Amino acid sequence: MDIPEELARVTTMAFDVDGTLTNADHLVSEASLSALKKLDEAGVQLIITTGRAPTAAASTLHDAGLHGWISACNGAHVSDLATVRCYAPPRFRPR
């Protein structure tokens, strides 16, 4: 993928899911998937962000074979996109 010179140093990009990557039907368009795949192939680390549960963001993107991270539950859950393995589970301290 040819990346414009001003973006050549970009190593990580984060994308919101609802209303940004997805349309009104909660689907990711082929154009968006194609762009994400090109970024992934160019070595740009992808971070998908959502207020929803991680599985809501992971299914479509995992099926597309993308690599990267999911920041879900408004950032309380961080997981690998491929495995949805949680690396930052929510921790609550009793008062």
CB neighbour list of residue 15: distance below 8 Å, 6 or more residues apart: 21, 36, 46, 47, 48, 49
How far is residue 18 CA from its own chain's centroid?
Answer: 11
Residue of 16, 18, 25, 40 marked active site:
16
Whether 16 is catalytic is: yes
Bridge partners, residue 71, by sequence: 49, 78
Catalytic residues: 16
